[in-house]
Amino acid sequence: MKRTALITGASSGIGKACAFVLAKEGYRLILCARRTERLQELEETIKNEHPGTDVYTFTLDVRDAAAVQDAISALPEAWKNIDVLINNAGLSQGLDPIQAGKLSDWDTMIDTNVKGLLYVSRAVIPLLEKSSNAHIINIGSIAGKEVYPNGNVYCASKHAVDALNKAMRIDLLEKGIRVSAINPGMVETEFSEVRFHGDTERAKAVYKGVDALTGQDIAEVIAFVLSRRAHININDLLIMPTAQATGTIVNRK
């Protein structure tokens, strides 16, 4: 029987790459994000590239607790058997010292990366409990393993994801639900453009002279983690570009 995966933040970057890789692996896909048009285009492209893939999309802002619960409750019966949750939706806003940080940036990061992940998990876990092979993948970051200058609140939000990943594994142990953290270093996606509020030049400079990871690189690792035999849980992976030693030490050519 085909497994069904729900991916948050599927409209771009790592989430979008996961959708393609899991479609290739034969998964049924539930894809959500805020940008509806992107999701519609994605559904069409996946169905063209991987004919026969079942895809269900819905627009969702993970910061809205009521909308999250309503969307999951409103899933058609055929889509209520969820085996895999990929908590990927997330972002960074700003790169300022803590004494100059913008409160709205802080709220957005905490509301999305921490509270959003919790809201989605709370709504989806009761459905995962019905699966005989359930797995939650939490997308953390190198920023959840170390703190770098001006990373303050983003790093705190990803440290929270690290803690929640561990907490989920404890709380869900008796349910047999696997929980894995995937913590990437630098991945070239829309991440920096979002962090710098649309300043594309500043965003491009982040990846200049570095062979950064791609969404595809991360998605392939996730597919590997998901495909282990049921008694194996890969707890926690830190995946860096070869040219990146820490959050800030990068070998640029």
Residue 90's identity, in one-letter code, is G
As a whole number of angstroms, the distance between CA 96 and CA 84 comes to 35
> Rule CB under 6 A: which of 147-206 touch ligand 8X3?
151, 186, 191
Is 119 annotated as catalytic? Answer: no
Residue 208 interacts with, from ligand 8X3, ligand NDP, none (CB under 5-8 Å by kind): none
247 binds ligand 8X3 (CB under 6 A): yes
Strands (E), the chain: 4-8, 28-33, 55-59, 84-87, 135-139, 178-184, 236-239
CB neighbours (10 Å) of residue 151? Answer: 20
Residue 247 interacts with, from ligand NDP, ligand 8X3, none (CB under 5-8 Å by kind): ligand 8X3
179: left (phi over 0), alpha (psi -120 to 50) or beta: beta
187 binds ligand NDP (CB under 6 A): yes
Which range in 4-12, 67-75, 171-179, 240-248 contacts ligand NDP by CB under 6 A?
Answer: 4-12
12 binds ligand NDP (CB under 6 A): yes
Q: How many residues bind ligand NDP (CB under 6 A)?
A: 32
Rounded least distance, CB 61 to ligand NDP, Å: 4
The answer to whether 169 touches 235, Cβ cutoff 8 Å, is yes
Residues 6+ apart with CB under 8 A from 107: none
Residues 107-146, one symbol each (x = binds ligand NDP by CB under 6 A, - = not), give -----x---x----------------------x-x-----
143 binds ligand 8X3 (CB under 6 A): yes
As a whole number of angstroms, the distance between CA 178 and CA 64 comes to 26
* DSSP bridge partners of 57: 31
139 binds ligand 8X3 (CB under 6 A): no
The answer to whether 171 touches 201, Cβ cutoff 8 Å, is no
The secondary element (H helix, E strand) that includes residue 108 is helix 103-109
Is 158 annotated as catalytic? Answer: yes
Q: Residues 4, 88, 180, 244: which binds ligand NDP (CB under 6 A)? A: 88
Residue tagged active-site, from 154, 166, 175, 204: 154
SS3 assignment, position 187: strand
Task: Please report which residue ranges of 57-208 form alpha helices under DSSP H.
Answer: 65-73, 103-109, 117-128, 152-171, 191-195, 200-207
Residue tagged active-site, from 27, 158, 175, 208: 158
Q: CA-based angle 80:38:42, to the nearest 5?
A: 65
6 binds ligand 8X3 (CB under 6 A): no
Contacting residues toward ligand NDP, per CB under 6 A: 8-15, 33-35, 38, 60-63, 88-91, 112, 116, 139, 141, 184, 186-187, 189-191, 194, 215
Contacting residues toward ligand 8X3, per CB under 6 A: 141-143, 151, 186, 191, 247
Residues forming the active site: 154, 158
